[in-house]
Structure 1
Amino acid sequence: MIDFSRVTVHYAETSEPMLRDVNLHIPEGELCLVAGRTGAGKSTLLRAINGLVPHFTGGTLHGTVTVQGRDTRSHPPRDLADVVGVVGQDPLAGFVTDTVEEELAYGMEQLALPAPVMRKRVEETLDLLGIAELRDRPLRTLSGGQQQRVAIGAVLTSHPQVLVLDEPTSALDPTAAEDVLAAVTRLVHDLGVTVVVAEHRLERVVHYADRLLYLPGDGTVIDGEPAAVLADIDLAPPLVELGRAAGWTPLPLSVRDARRRASDLRQRLADAPAPPATPPPAGLPVLAARNIVVRYPGTVAVAGVDLDLHPGRIVALMGRNGSGKSSLLWAVQGSGPRHSGTVTVTGPDGATDPKTLPAGRARRQVGLVPQTPGDLLYLETVDAECAQADRESDAPAGTCRALLDQLTPALPGDQHPRDLSEGQRLAIALAVQLTAAPQVVLLDEPTRGLDYLAKRQFTAIVRRLATEGRTVVVATHDVELVATLADRVVVMAQGEIVADGTTAEVMLASPAFAPQVAKVLAPQPWLTVDQVTAALAATRTRG
């Protein structure tokens, strides 16, 4: 179905090729997972499948890429539209209509399908992805996760033989991600669709995959069965790391497989000291929000929420897509709508509401990195963005660049932000906001597009901010990040807070938000591989 023959892709602005002498054969009806560090070339590999590389992105392609016998050198993307469907990292950038139903129908209109067929497929797709209630909604009013599902649906309605997905679950809550991946798996097994998916959250996808393509970052591609490839690379989901710590061979790829082998590990951990409990907050909150209400036409996004944030704490804000997390962050920061309620930030200048302050002063009190980090980037190069952030924040020259290097090392300073991957743009926006050193830092899906190593670096930065006495709120669907990072978890639903407690209290009580380690070792209280490793070391020392 898909063949790469000695494919090398080189961009003029880079000294080394993004892909180097790649040979691949992906047969019909396979689910192929593409993994690698941020900027390793995953998007280039995906875009080469439908001719976006080089017809749209530029650069030079050596070798041949064929899809169902069509050579992408002589068949540009429009000639492959009936065969290959592509969903990019930023769904909003790919939309061409105004409402959900119009977007689902647009691709079929371009293929001149009969109206009755179009109507039937739209209804099937709305039900398949669970978005029927959104059919008349304007696309720009949807949450990031809702937009992601609509983008996938807009491709599925054309019934492509090859489906290419770039970070399809990055903005989805755990339940929605499982629904989307289950739908994609049905396409593979029932209809023989070939699916190529790039994903950083391997724990969500790897157990569905027939094969894994790993890009180490030197232009080459390692091709093999998922368990075999994961055994030798440094990017691994928690289950694989748990298997390594427990000495399991072969490594498990699903919670079911791991639980079947975990009885001995649970016995070894039975006498280990439990992870230390999170102490209650001390002192007065640095930010107090009272009765926050945010409305949009036809819906109440935030329904009278109260929230206290204490210095030195890391708070995870969780909940399904559309539960009101982003709306609450924008209302607290002061830039977004707030129809009623108050926000008080206590700082060196006394108690103030950031909504009443000029933008520069407000940033020093409450900084926000949005879901679409490109909204904060407007200059021509990475270096220019960093230099401007230093000036606006009165920070020493090089502060922003140093923060960026901790998140994404060696990012070329002369590149335009729009030419970078979603994860790289996110890293720049995060570095820009952190340069201002605000008392309260609000991060909306901050690890979307980041690989495991980058998330560890991100975690270290956030912990350092908390150690300095700053408060960090992370709105995220990444349960593994929350288990590793957060002191407290707040869960929202329908604009209200429905759970609020320590990370262990909330995550161990919720099947939807439990991390992989907790699912494997339940009912024991472990959340992360690091906790398990420390407990095993403690038992060996005592023994």
Structure 2
Amino acid sequence: MIRFEDVSVTYDGATEPTVRGLELTVPEGELVLLVGPSGVGKSTILGAVSGLVPHFTGGTLRGRVTVAGRDTRTHKPRELADVVGTVGQDPLAHFVTDTVEDELAYGMESLGLAPDVMRRRVEETLDLLGLADLRDRPIATLSGGQQQRVAIGSVLTPHPRVLVLDEPTSALDPAAAEEVLAVLQRLVHDLGTTVLMAEHRLERVIQYADQVALLPAPGAPLVLGPPSEVMAVSPVYPPVVALGRFAGWSPLPLTVRDARRRAGALRERLEGMKGVAYEDESAGLTPAAPAPRPAPPRSRLFRKRDTPTAPAGTAVAAVDHLTVRRGRIEALHDVTLTVAPGETIALMGRNGAGKSTLLSALVGLVEPASGSVRVGGAVPHRTAPPELVRRVGLVPQEPRDLLYADTVAAECTAADRDADAEPGTCRALVSELLPGIADDTHPRDLSEGQRLTLALALVLTARPPLLLLDEPTRGLDYAAKSRLVTVLRDLATTGHAIILATHDVELAAELAHRVVILADGEPVADGPTVEVVMASPSFAPQVAKILAPQKWLTVSQVRAAVGATEREPEGRETTADREAKA
């Protein structure tokens, strides 16, 4: 159905091809998962299937790409629209109408389908993706995850033979992601649809793949094979595979169910150990940060003397019986929340639960209908921006919303000026977080992860005591996410409070002291991370599900605990000793 023959793609101005000598065949009726670190060319490969590369992006494509027998060199995207449906990383760039129902029908109208067929398919798709209650809603009023489902639905209604999906679950809550993936699996199994998908959150999708296509590094040859075999050599892999690698399981498990069946011996080793170490509860931090673990590397940019000071016992932010309305919709209802210095909170909940609205209220973008919000003693929506940026900073779902200049240097200069910081402050942050990025680089030429990191540096220039991040791991691979975790941990240890609105349960397990779950604008759970996520199948990380009822949340906890037990008895031969002898 899809065939790449010695394909290389070189963009205008680039000195090296983004993709080199690619050979790949995707049979009809299979779901092939494209994986690899950021920057290896996954989005370029997907764009070549739909014809967007090179007809829309420019550059030079050498070799041959065919889809259902059509050569993409001679068929432009509109001439492939009846065969290929594409959803990119940014759903907003996908929409051409104003309301949900109109967007679902637009693709079919373009293909000239009969009205009765269009009506039936719209209803089917509304039900499949849980969008029936949103059919008349303006797309601009939807949450990021709801927009993602609409974008996926709009390419499903024309019933294409090939689906090309770039990060399709990145903005979805766990339940919605499972529903979308179940729909894709049904299309593959029942209708013979061919799916080529790139996704960084492998813990969600790896078990659905028939084959995995791995690009291990830029310019490296592609590896294609069964998921368990490819995961054994892949530089990127989900927690269930990481645990299997650590425990020496073969073949590697891809699902929680398979891992639980093999985890008996590991559970016995961990029996009686404390799965979570608590921070200093006298400081008000009841949450469970993953432990035991080594202290994170100290950044020269985040030292104790740089930390915004607050009187002992005072809150960085306080939300009291907050209600927020967006038009006729009550987005938040009677929310009360207190944030302590140095505390990291994960806001979780289904799409549209009110997470982004709560962050917007904390940064003054929306005005309360009732109740109050105070950040550092100030009322955000009544505080002038130059003063507010020194109290609270927000990195939004789309980092490009903060990026207006033509170069990284110009962005940094503007950030120093807005924060009244010493010239060069922002550039020093960028150099620390994004080494190797030149001053004259245009922000739009950065990857999703690089844009996020640049936006984070702009916000941190003012050193706000409260840092807000909305879906911060969207578009990040595991290595980039690990770097982000290190930076955020470092900030927390120097006294910055952090609130993350996230669907990434693995990030919450790794980083958050406390989890707050919202449902329909109201908190339904608020407590230490381990207690909240262990009580919720939807929000529990993979390791917690595998090793339950023991309270372990991450592979790093398990690895550190097992390593500690091997080191304790003096004279006992350790794993390192055995490896040295071997």
1:337-348 matches, within 5 Å, as 337-346=367-376
1:341-356 matches, within 5 Å, as 341-346=371-376, 351-356=377-382
1:119-518 matches, within 5 Å, as 119-220=119-220, 221-280=222-281, 281-282=283-284, 283-346=313-376, 351-404=377-430, 408-411=434-437, 413-518=439-544
Please state how far the C-alpha of 1:231 moved relative to its aligned partner.
1.4
Please state how far the C-alpha of 1:419 moved relative to its aligned partner.
4.0
- Please list the CA deviations of residues 220-241 of structure 1 after superposition, one character each: whole Å capped at 9, or x if unmatched: 3332222222212321110111
Secondary structure at 2:277's aligned position in 1? coil
Secondary structure at 1:540's aligned position in 2? helix
Distance 2:467 2:18 in 1: 35
Distance 2:211 2:162 in 1: 16
Structure 1 counterpart of 2:357, one-letter code: S
Distance change in 2, residues 1:405/1:163 (3 Å): farther
Please state how far the C-alpha of 1:364 moved relative to its aligned partner.
1.2
Distance 1:394 1:308 in 2: 28
- Please list the CA deviations of residues 67-114 of structure 1 after superposition, one character each: whole Å capped at 9, or x if unmatched: 011110000100000000000111111100000000000000000000
367-376 or 93-102, larger mean C-alpha shift: 367-376
- Could you tell me which runs of 5 or more consecutive residues in structure 1 were left unpaired when the two chains were aligned: none
Distance 2:278 2:103 in 1: 48
Please state how far the C-alpha of 1:500 moved relative to its aligned partner.
0.6
- Please list the CA deviations of residues 443-473 of structure 1 after superposition, one character each: whole Å capped at 9, or x if unmatched: 0101100110001100011111111111000
Distance 1:406 1:212 in 2: 34
Partner of 1:521: 547
1:10-29 matches, within 5 Å, as 10-29=10-29
Please state how far the C-alpha of 1:404 moved relative to its aligned partner.
4.0
| 2:362/2:374 contact within 8 Å kept | no
Distance 2:174 2:432 in 1: 28
| 2:317/2:339 contact within 8 Å kept | yes
Partner of 2:80: 80
Distance 2:540 2:217 in 1: 32
13-22 or 90-99, larger mean C-alpha shift: 13-22
Partner of 1:105: 105
Partner of 2:60: 60
Distance 2:558 2:449 in 1: 29
Distance 1:383 1:202 in 2: 35
Distance 1:99 1:193 in 2: 27
What TM-score, normalized by structure 2, do the two folds share?
0.90
| 2:48/2:65 contact within 8 Å kept | yes
Distance change in 2, residues 1:411/1:89 (3 Å): farther
The percentage of aligned residue pairs carrying the same residue is 61
Structure 1 counterpart of 2:146, one-letter code: Q
| 1:355/1:362 contact within 8 Å kept | no
Structure 2 counterpart of 1:469, one-letter code: G
Distance 2:230 2:416 in 1: 42
Structure 1 counterpart of 2:331, one-letter code: A
| 1:39/1:424 contact within 8 Å kept | no
| 1:252/1:258 contact within 8 Å kept | yes
Distance 1:404 1:114 in 2: 54
Structure 2 counterpart of 1:433, one-letter code: V
Distance change in 2, residues 1:390/1:180 (3 Å): same
| 1:272/1:539 contact within 8 Å kept | no
Structure 2 counterpart of 1:308, one-letter code: T
| 1:292/1:331 contact within 8 Å kept | no
Distance change in 2, residues 1:337/1:32 (3 Å): farther
Distance 1:428 1:291 in 2: 34
- Please list the CA deviations of residues 200-221 of structure 1 after superposition, one character each: whole Å capped at 9, or x if unmatched: 1010001111111222332333
Structure 1 counterpart of 2:251, one-letter code: P
What TM-score, normalized by structure 1, do the two folds share?
0.96
Distance 2:314 2:236 in 1: 40
Secondary structure at 2:32's aligned position in 1? strand
- Please list the CA deviations of residues 467-522 of structure 1 after superposition, one character each: whole Å capped at 9, or x if unmatched: 11110000000000000000011111111111110111101111110000000001
Distance 2:11 2:437 in 1: 15
Secondary structure at 1:455's aligned position in 2? helix
Residues matched between the structures, number: 539
Structure 2 counterpart of 1:86, one-letter code: T
Secondary structure at 1:57's aligned position in 2? coil
Secondary structure at 1:375's aligned position in 2? helix
Partner of 2:309: none
Distance change in 2, residues 1:163/1:208 (3 Å): same
Secondary structure at 2:179's aligned position in 1? helix
Distance change in 2, residues 1:341/1:157 (3 Å): same
Structure 1 counterpart of 2:51, one-letter code: G
- Could you tell me which runs of 5 or more consecutive residues in structure 2 were left unpaired when the two chains were aligned: 285-312, 570-582
Partner of 2:293: none
Please state how far the C-alpha of 1:251 moved relative to its aligned partner.
1.1
- Please list the CA deviations of residues 333-375 of structure 1 after superposition, one character each: whole Å capped at 9, or x if unmatched: 11223222222223xxxx2223222212211101011112211
| 2:41/2:218 contact within 8 Å kept | no
